[in-house]
């Protein structure tokens, strides 16, 4: 059977509470958690323990990650590019676990390198323990046949899981996604399956690669390494996203950096009363 795995980028995760959380005044943390727990059941939200200052109702449903700086990280340490990719792969695994732990519904990771998808059982077991489902987005015509088989197996094995939905971007670009959606819509109009006057944003979104998930639009986009741009990542889906840029190279980010990104999103949501006001 074809061996398979999630990007060498997702594995050995050791949970380390950040010093800011560990040293936070416990009485306030317990008070906030008590309020959240009491109201979660009323709102039908999962009972999830969050760091202080984070509330379930103000959490993003879809987080998109642009992991950047792995190879620069390796170069600075006199390591190989493969070492950098491996360090990034392990950090993605940590990130996925944190998203699952914090009750995020969907996480999209941009730029999975195909070399990383080589070990099946370890990564698949991690996803099953997290009750996570996996889908891949990107130009499949450029995927090696061996990779296509491996990813199809991951998708099949995890399809009934109901927890975090992980979208992996391989050979994915925002322009490619919009272009292929336009072609699909045009083809349906040509074949008489769709009328020109019926085309709207909702119809168009059903042709994008992210149609496979319940929450296709990214609420929060996180990019590392100091670059302040989307670089062709989810151009349609990130039109109204909160953007959070981290100066650290990707292998150096920690849980506290993710928490800061979530706090940034929370502040925006609080200003809008939990509603998307555009």
3-state SS, one letter per residue, for the chain: CCCCCCCCCCCCCCCCCCHHHHCCCHHHHHHHHHHHHHHHHHHCCCCCCCCCCCCHHHCCCEEEEECCCHHHHHHHCCCCHHHHHHHHHHHHHHHHHHHHHCCCCEEEECCCCHHHCCCHHHHHHHHHHCCCEEEEECCHHHCCHHHHHHHHHHHHHHCCCCCCEEEEECCCCHHHHHHHHHHHHHHHHHCCCCCHHHCCHHHHHCCCHHHHCCCCCCCEEEECCCCCCCCCCCCCCCCCCEEEECCCCHHHCCHHHHHHHHHHHHHHHHHCCCCCCC
68 is catalytic: yes
Distance CA 253, CA 274 (A): 28
Strand order in 62-66's β-sheet? Answer: 133-137, 165-169, 106-109, 62-66, 220-223, 242-245
Catalytic residue among 47, 53, 68, 85: 68
Rounded distance between C-alpha atoms, residue 228 and residue 230, angstroms: 7
Active site residues: 68
């Amino acid at each position: 059977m074809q061996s398979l795995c999630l990007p060498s980028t997702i594995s050995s995760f050791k949970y380390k509470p950040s010093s800011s959380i560990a040293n936070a005044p416990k009485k306030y943390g317990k008070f906030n958690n008590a309020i959240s727990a009491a109201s979660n059941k009323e709102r039908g939200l999962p009972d999830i323990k969050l760091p202080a200052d984070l509330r379930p109702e103000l959490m993003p449903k879809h987080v998109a990650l642009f992991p950047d700086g792995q190879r620069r990280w390796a170069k600075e340490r006199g390591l190989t590019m493969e070492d950098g990719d491996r360090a990034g792969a392990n950090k993605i695994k940590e990130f996925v676990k944190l998203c699952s732990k914090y009750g995020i519904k969907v996480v999209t990771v941009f730029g999975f390198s195909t070399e990383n998808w080589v070990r099946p059982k370890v990564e698949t077991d991690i996803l099953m323990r997290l009750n996570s489902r996996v889908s891949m987005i990107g130009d499949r015509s450029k995927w090696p046949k061996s990779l296509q088989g491996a990813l199809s197996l991951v998708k099949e094995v995890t399809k009934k899981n109901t927890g975090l939905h992980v979208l992996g971007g391989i050979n994915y670009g925002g322009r490619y996604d919009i272009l292929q959606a336009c072609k699909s819509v045009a083809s349906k109009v040509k074949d008489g399956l769709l009328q020109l006057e019926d085309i709207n944003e909702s119809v168009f979104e059903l042709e994008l690669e992210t149609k496979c998930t319940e929450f296709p639009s990214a609420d929060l986009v996180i990019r590392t390494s100091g670059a302040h741009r989307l670089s062709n990542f989810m151009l349609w889906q990130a039109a109204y996203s909160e953007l959070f840029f981290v100066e650290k190279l990707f292998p150096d980010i920690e849980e506290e950096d993710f928490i800061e990104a979530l706090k940034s999103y929370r502040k925006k949501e609080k200003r809008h009363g939990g509603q998307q006001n555009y």
